Amino acid sequence: MGWGTRLCLLGGLALWAQRRRAAAAAAPERRDRELELKLVQVVFRHGARTPLQPLPGASPVEWHPTLLHVPARTKFDYMVTDLRGGPQPPSPDEEHYRKITFKGGALAGQLTTVGMQQMFALGERLRRSYVEEARFLSPTFKPAEVFIRSTNIFRNLESTRCLLAGLYQQQKEGSVVIVTDEASSEILYPNYRNCQRLECLSRRKLKDALQQPGISDDLKTIKEKMGIDDDTDVDFFLLLDNMRAEQVHNLPSCPVLKDFQQTVERRSVDSLLFLLEDGSREVLQMSVGLLFYTLRKNITEAVDPSAPAEKARKLILYASHDSTLIPLMVALGTFDRKWPPYAADVTLELYQHQQSKEWFVRMSYHGEERVVKGCKAGLCPLQEFLQVLSQYSVSPEEYNSLCSQTEGNQQTDS
């Protein structure tokens, strides 16, 4: 074979390979154009807040009520009901926070101006994605399109308000209703009130975590340097909570916490994973099983709607907590071992292919696509995604059964 022929052949092969690469690169884009968005579910953490309780031994940071000013653009009228449309239930959590006043006058666990702005920004991001780019949601709030549920804690209700203000730019048709539940039956966080077994397991496992080499040594060192007595009840979660809150508001944080920032964050994650990754899926089932059951139900209803209301619904919002997002992501195999920041969100998008009529789910965290375990790519065939959910999803009856078991008869399936 002559050099000319060889060069022509090589040139032809190179051109063919280039075209193949171009076609491969265009395939996902073409596939995405053929996908029709059917449902969006967003599980999000509230915005920045005051700490949940002060740190003993440290020079107290001043939290002034001026840090809780409501920016005009975040205002959005709403009403709160129980799950059946009745009056808002009482909130024992909020009653507890109102008994804790920080130096400066602000109460514990309250959404701040910074947090309101964070949630407004999340709403604006959702608007860009689903109103402006996908043209999926109406630019004005319409009750038939949106279902909103929140834990019955004021910072979460107010965070939802700010998100909606950003998403709909304060434009609405009809009333905005946020539904919530009694604290004793809440599913949007691991519920120690109605699952005694989870409460006992968590207390024991977290106590064991603090005895682990490294974790116990680091905690002892930090407490000593902060002047906190060894027998004073302080864990890494309390340290992280105060440290994160002070940092995001640019308040003067304890110098020791600044020096040990990475250690506090790492050990907080280590301690919680010691509980969640205990070789049994039951802790995750008791933590987020009912939420998974609800997410799965929402998806199956959207795939085969039996009522006009289900067909009209496009967006479902769940205002939750960091204690919700971590076990949720651990169960889905997407946790990056970093504590979720304020206003973090996990979003599930349900698509149908216009030609094949196949269904797919895409998960994102902070607006970035994540590959769920058991799925080969970010865009996951529906049945594969539901298979992952089914490992941890539990019905109310199954949840009650799990929670009523004693340590002597617990199962150990992994």
> Which value, to the nearest 10 degrees, does the dihedral of the CA atoms of residues 393, 395, 400, 406 take?
-40
Identify any residues that bridge with 180 across adjacent strands, giving them in sequence order.
82
Give pairs for 402-408: CB < 8 Å, separation 24+.
402/195, 402/197, 402/282, 402/285, 402/286, 402/289, 403/194, 403/195, 403/196, 403/197, 403/198, 403/286, 404/197, 405/197, 406/197, 407/197, 407/200, 407/201
Of 46, 181, 241, 321, the catalytic one is 46
CA 409 to chain centre: 32
Q: Which neighbouring-strand residues pair with 348?
A: 41, 363
Catalytic annotation, pick one of 93, 181, 241, 322: 322
DSSP structure class, residue 111? B
Nearest to 119, CA basis, from 65, 178, 46? 46
Q: Which residues contact 16 (CB under 8 A, 6 or more apart)?
A: none
Q: Distance between CA 200 and CA 196 in Å, rounded?
A: 6
Q: Kind of pairing, strands 368-370 and 146-150?
A: unpaired
- Contact call for residues 389 and 327 (beta carbons, < 8 A): no
DSSP 55-96: PTTSPPPP--GGGG---GGG----EEEETTS-BPPP-HHHHH
**Structure tokens that stand for 76 in this block:** 């959005």
- Name residue 346's beta-bridge partners: 43, 365
Active-site residue, 32 included: no
46 is catalytic: yes
- Under 8 Å between Cβ of 210 and 216: yes
Q: Which residues belong to the active site?
A: 46, 322
